[in-house]
Amino acid sequence: TDALRARDLYRFYRSGEEETLALRGVDLRVRYGESVAVIGPSGSGKSTLLACLAGLDEPDGGTVHVGGERISHRPEAERARMRARRIGVLSQSGNLIAHLDVAANIRLARTAAPGTGGPSVHALLDQVGLGHRARAVPRELAGGELARAGLAVALANDPDILLADEPTGELDGATEQRILQLLRSRALAGGGVLLVTHSPEAVKIADRVITLRDGRAS
């Protein structure tokens, strides 16, 4: 099985007379141990694709499987359960609860998927180099620390696939490199990693690059 497999994805948006075909038959595969970058101009369908892959949106055609289990065309409650157990989402807007410290944010993510037996909170913090920041709340963290805390939360349940949406968009060079190396390590450790990015540096760490144009992947 693959960490992530999308087959022949279609997504239409209708608003009044207007119809936009945002995805037109996208096929995509991320194997365990592989990192894949998705690039493409604004309006090419990247956000729509990510939403369908994460089970936040339903494609109008085609299927999405994560870790061999179908997530598309299922009731929202089942998609949410799969999202918690099999998918890690990392975005620059952050996936952290503001009033909880870093350790509590990780524990909260773990309660969403009981019994998955992911790494311990301490192991996760050490992995991202935040062992000393467990008690800090998000506003006390610098940009790079925030991104690493977000990564620890995204990896809290040892997901089949990590979906990263422009993960280094707001980071400076050295800080970006640190995050990219962590994403690279995740793939080397056997996880699936998919990153949507504009960053040439991020593209460099990917095993494969997929370009979206007008809803088609190549």
Please count the other Cβ atoms lying within 10 Å of the Cβ belonging to residue 41: 12
Does the protein bind ligand ADP through residue 119 (CB under 6 A)?
A: no
The stretch near ligand ADP (CB under 6 A) out of 13-21, 89-97, 105-113, 147-155 is 13-21
Does the protein bind ligand ADP through residue 1 (CB under 6 A)?
A: no
Q: Are 209 and 36 in contact (CB under 8 A)?
A: yes
Closest distance of CB 100 from ligand ADP, Å: 26
Does the protein bind ligand ADP through residue 93 (CB under 6 A)?
A: no
Q: Which residue, 31 or 198, has its beta carbon nearer to ligand ADP?
A: 198
Closest distance of CB 5 from ligand ADP, Å: 20
Q: Are 90 and 151 in contact (CB under 8 A)?
A: yes
Size of interface with ligand ADP, in residues (CB under 6 A)? 12
Among 25, 33, 43, 129, binds ligand ADP (CB under 6 A): 43
Among 47, 91, 92, 95, binds ligand ADP (CB under 6 A): 47
Does the protein bind ligand ADP through residue 40 (CB under 6 A)?
A: yes
Fill in the amino acid letter for 211.
T
Distance CA 89, CA 172 (A): 21
Does the protein bind ligand ADP through residue 44 (CB under 6 A)?
A: yes
Interface with ligand ADP (CB under 6 A): 13, 15, 20, 22, 40, 42-48
